[in-house]
Amino acid sequence: MRVEPADIEALFDAIPDVLFFIKDRQGRYTHVNQTMLRRLGLRARKDVIGRTAAEIYPTGLSADYVDQDARVLSGEVIENLMELHLFANREPGWCLTCKRPLVVDGAIEGLIGISRDLGQKDSLGAQYEQLRLALAHLNAHYAENVRMQTLLDITGFSLSKLERSFRKVFQMTPQQVLTRLRIQMAMHLLHGDDSIACIGQACGFSDQSAFTRKFKAETGFSPRAYRARIGGGVGEPALA
């Protein structure tokens, strides 16, 4: 039995909180669902098909998407990556993204992916604003020693409720969310020329070995190997 991409596309049209897309080896969209069109403020698939993320998203977002695509097209699988997306009101919101290589006759011919909304306001009720403030604090202070008590003060939650709410919305604990934010910022900075030790410190890691260990756990690469893959930076000592 052969399943056509258009059939999958039609299935995902019925799911309003999930973006679905297929791209070719050049990163150009070949299939998208209606949710993605609504988020972009577009009416027809023809307005997206054949274009890349860099052509339809703001620079700050598209750079991440293009980098992810390059990793997946080289064979990497991305699972549950927490990232910012634009919603229908053009406001940013958090999603979990999964991308996989699209293999045809043993060769990678493109990629297929989904991005699922994380806990939107309508489904969270009164908890939404408290969690939004907690996430905003983590996002603003990821480079610092973030104390759990600060998040409890911001939300007014007990520790168990905070952990439970984060797991419900983000499928991660507050500490895991903080680590994910730090790693995502480090991935940005590795495009530049700062040393790996400086980047680790700037992203809130206590020492270079801790940074390297966490980075590899999240991405599958050491910071040095990741930098080499993306062609960023300058020569680095072998420690990273």
CATH classification at residue 99: 3.30.450.20
Residue 220 counted as domain residue:
yes
Q: 101 with 147, same domain?
A: no
Q: 59 with 127, same domain?
A: no
Q: Kindly state the tokens that stand for 59.
A: 């620079």
Boundary-marking domain end, from 59, 88, 117: 117
For residue 55, give its domain range.
5-117
Residue 104 counted as domain residue:
yes
Q: 123 with 215, same domain?
A: yes
- pLDDT at residue 145 in the model: 94
Angstrom distance (rounded) from CA 163 to CA 217: 22
Spans of the chain, pLDDT less than 50: 235, 237-240
- pLDDT at residue 240 in the model: 45
- pLDDT at residue 86 in the model: 66
Q: 228 with 167, same domain?
A: yes
Q: 26 with 73, same domain?
A: yes
Q: Kindly state the tokens that stand for 157.
A: 């939650």
- pLDDT at residue 237 in the model: 46
- pLDDT at residue 129 in the model: 77
Q: 204 with 128, same domain?
A: yes
- pLDDT at residue 113 in the model: 96
Q: 100 with 143, same domain?
A: no
Q: 108 with 123, same domain?
A: no
Angstrom distance (rounded) from CA 60 to CA 185: 12
- pLDDT at residue 24 in the model: 96
Q: 111 with 48, same domain?
A: yes
Boundary-marking domain end, from 61, 96, 117: 117
Residue with tokens 């998040």: 151
Residue with tokens 């952990």: 163
Q: 107 with 126, same domain?
A: no
Distances (CA, A) of 109 to 36, 101, 102, 132: 22, 8, 6, 39
Q: Where are the beta strands (DSSP E) in the chain?
A: 18-24, 29-32, 78-86, 92-104, 107-117
Boundary-marking domain end, from 100, 117, 134: 117
Could you give the number of structural domains in the chain?
2
Angstrom distance (rounded) from CA 48 to CA 32: 8
Q: 104 with 164, same domain?
A: no
- pLDDT at residue 238 in the model: 42
Q: 86 with 124, same domain?
A: no
